[in-house]
């Protein structure tokens, strides 16, 4: 059974290849097109999958589409009808563009005439979260902007059955609310939410929290949002109304304007309100299913701060490596497969392209003349890189298959010492060229990191924010000032040899040298770029930035001006 999973046309388009229930290849379209959060049909990803697997359309038994296009069209047209005059031109454009987004038509044009399985949007989210988890039985909570109609769902998964218990429909959406305030604060929706989370600890939520809570009406198990403050039903340009500005008594910030304390306070209030509603849903999931486990899916599954509060309501929580729409390409395949077959273990996030030493050597030879390199055996490479990191060098780390999802998990990472209090500022200002308030995540070997952080279970996909421990002999501070945010939180990435053998080996060498098996880990990209795909891109980013060294496979590369 060979399946091709696809998600497209909203954001984070992706494709994957699944053989007999095992995910073998997968990537987001943005990595190939270099358009962040690319929503177009993943032509380039599919082309790579076929080249890598030596398959073609005739070998595919089933294409799995991550949502139901007919239901989605039904929601959009009914919403247009509700606001006939305001949506007149938008409706015309939608109806003109819709045939170009018909999965069946696109696939037929590509030469595919086989079975297409349409899996509902939130079911794809739920299936991806559950079927990549270690649980045989669990509650599942999915939260995002909007699928077909649903924005929030609660499920009970047991064996091969995933049963829906509660759904909340558009326009009531926690994801849309978070994106709206993201836009209000001058950041790009569906991209800048990370910035709002990073900004929130600098603010006081009390100034705006009561105002934001006015938009909600809550029943026992559901929430409803007063739509007089929002334009979600009739505009794809501006997400809020003047009444929302009057409610806050604040004007929206333009992207180039200074961030004031009011903006920080609003970010703090938004995060607080989101967490409050999110935890109500978590408790509802617990009450309905009586499960000890919880799986979280949907784009809001990237809100690591809220995820950090799930335990102790549940004993254990699983958030997959790509909870947004990208992961739903996988979820749709796994759901379809497990209807008739036993599920397989699918916890590997390293599904993208990999490159041979010959590929890397060729890229070096075609690179600028100031490149220098040496090729080392694995143990010598690990020791050399660890010493460079200990001496406060910044190292780009490019190994094996690229990660699927938004998090760099040790195969496409920029690494640095977390002990140096100035390293976070250097990475933000000089390397990433982004806002200075944004934190960096620490990667740490699981064997020792409990001494420095408080958490209940492994966090292999860097999707929970937890608290750092204060060390008395350091004046109640952390040994890792660059890895700990202003509120003493950290988005920890725990690393085991089973998950990533080489990366764990590097962190273990750091422990031998420094007593701390921990490094700052941020994705290998520069400002407004997607994560590094290939050796040529890696070298270009080394040369055009102040990264000190680049490691690709067992090559150590740097630049030297004659």
Instruction: Summarize pLDDT for 89-135 with one digit per residue, the tens.
Output: 999 999 999 999 999 999 999 999 999 999 999 999 999 999 999 99
What confidence category does residue 562 fall into, taking pLDDT thresholds of 50, 70 and 90? low
Region 46-60 average pLDDT? 98
For residues 191-218, give the mean pLDDT: 96
How would residue 184 be classed by pLDDT, with cut points 50, 70 and 90? very high
Q: What would the mean pLDDT of 393-415 be, rounded to a whole number?
A: 97
Contact by Cβ (8 Å): 364, 47:
no
Q: What are phi and psi of 466, to 5 degrees?
A: -125, 180
The strand ranges marked E within 422-548 are 441-445, 453-454, 465-468, 489-491, 493-495, 518-523
Structure tokens at 524: 């290998």
Domains observed in the chain = 2-130+322-338 (3.30.420.40), 169-318 (3.30.420.40), 357-559 (3.90.870.20)
CB 94 within 8 A of CB 75: no
Whole-angstrom CA distances from 178 to 182, 192, 247 are 6, 10, 16
Q: For 229-280, how does the pLDDT look when each residue is reduced to its tens digit (9 = 90+)?
A: 999 999 988 999 999 999 999 999 999 999 999 999 999 999 999 999 999 9
pLDDT at 357: 97
Mean pLDDT across the chain: 96
Averaged pLDDT, 43-49: 98
444-457 pLDDT, tens per residue? 998 889 999 999 99
Q: Tell me the per-residue pLDDT of 509-557, one tens digit each, with 9 for 90 and over.
A: 999 999 999 999 999 999 889 999 999 999 999 999 999 999 999 999 9
pLDDT of res. 433:
82
* C-alpha–C-alpha distance, residues 387 and 513, integer Å: 8
Query: Has residue 440 got a pLDDT over 90?
Result: no
Q: Is the pLDDT of residue 561 over 80?
A: no
**Banded pLDDT at 411 (limits 50, 70, 90):** very high
- Distance between CA 67 and CA 60 in Å, rounded? 19
Q: What is the pLDDT of residues 443-501, one digit of tens each?
A: 999 888 999 999 999 999 999 999 999 988 888 889 999 999 999 999 999 999 999 99
pTM for the full model? 0.96
What average pLDDT does the segment 64-69 reach?
Answer: 98
DSSP, res 252:
P
CA-based nearest residue to 290, from 170, 190, 182, 165: 165
Q: Residue 175 in contact with residue 299, Cβ under 8 Å?
A: yes
């Amino acid at each position: 059974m060979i399946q091709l999973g696809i998600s497209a046309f909203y954001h984070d388009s992706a494709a994957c290849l699944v053989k007999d229930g095992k995910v073998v290849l997968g990537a987001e379209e943005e990595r190939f097109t270099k358009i962040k959060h690319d929503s177009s049909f993943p032509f380039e990803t599919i082309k790579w999958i076929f080249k890598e697997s030596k398959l073609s359309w005739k070998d595919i038994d089933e294409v799995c589409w991550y949502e139901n296009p007919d239901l989605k069209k039904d929601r959009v047209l009914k919403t247009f009808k509700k606001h006939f005059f305001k949506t007149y031109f938008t409706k015309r454009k939608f109806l003109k563009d819709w045939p170009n987004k018909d999965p069946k038509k696109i696939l037929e044009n590509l030469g595919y005439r086989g079975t297409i399985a349409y899996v509902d949007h939130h079911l794809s989210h739920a299936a991806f979260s559950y079927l990549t988890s270690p649980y045989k039985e669990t509650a599942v909570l999915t939260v995002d902007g909007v699928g077909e109609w649903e924005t929030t769902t609660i499920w009970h998964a047991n064996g091969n059955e995933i049963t829906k218990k509660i759904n909340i429909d558009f326009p009531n959406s926690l994801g849309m609310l978070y994106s709206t305030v993201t836009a209000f604060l001058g950041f790009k929706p569906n991209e800048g939410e990370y910035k709002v989370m990073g900004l929130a600890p600098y603010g006081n939520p009390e100034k705006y929290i009561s105002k934001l809570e006015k938009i909600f009406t809550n029943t026992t198990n559901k929430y409803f949002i007063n739509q007089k403050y929002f334009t979600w039903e009739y505009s794809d340009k501006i997400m809020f109304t003047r009444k929302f500005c009057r409610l806050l008594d604040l004007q929206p910030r333009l992207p180039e304007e200074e961030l004031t304390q009011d903006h920080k306070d609003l970010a703090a209030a938004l995060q607080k309100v989101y967490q409050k509603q999110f935890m109500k849903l978590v408790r509802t999931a617990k009450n309905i299913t009586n499960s000890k486990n919880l799986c979280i899916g949907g784009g809001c599954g990237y809100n690591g701060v809220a995820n950090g509060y799930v335990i102790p309501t549940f004993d254990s929580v699983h958030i997959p490596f790509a909870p947004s729409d990208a992961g739903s390409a996988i979820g749709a395949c796994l759901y379809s497969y497990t209807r008739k077959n036993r599920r397989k273990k699918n916890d590997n996030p390293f599904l993208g392209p990999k490159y041979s030493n010959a590929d890397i050597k060729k890229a070096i030879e075609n690179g600028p003349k100031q490149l220098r390199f040496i090729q080392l055996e694995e143990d010598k490479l690990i020791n050399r890189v660890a010493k460079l990191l200990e001496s406060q060098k910044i190292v780009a780390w490019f190994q094996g298959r690229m990660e699927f999802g938004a998090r760099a998990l040790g195969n496409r990472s920029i690494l640095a010492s977390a002990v140096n209090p100035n390293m976070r500022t250097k990475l933000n200002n000089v390397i990433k060229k982004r806002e200075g308030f944004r934190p960096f995540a620490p990667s740490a070997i699981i064997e020792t990191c409990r001494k420095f952080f408080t958490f209940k279970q492994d966090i292999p996909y860097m999707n929970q924010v937890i608290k750092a421990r204060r060390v008395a002999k350091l004046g109640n501070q952390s040994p890792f000032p660059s890895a700990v945010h202003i509120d003493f939180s950290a988005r920890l990435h725990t690393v085991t040899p089973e998950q990533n053998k080489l990366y764990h080996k590097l962190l273990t060498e750091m422990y031998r040298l420094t007593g701390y098996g921990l490094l700052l880990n941020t994705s290998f990209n520069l400002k407004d770029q997607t994560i590094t795909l290939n050796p040529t891109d890696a070298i270009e980013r080394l040369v055009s930035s102040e990264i000190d060294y680049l490691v690709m496979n067992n090559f150590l590369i740097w630049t030297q001006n004659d």
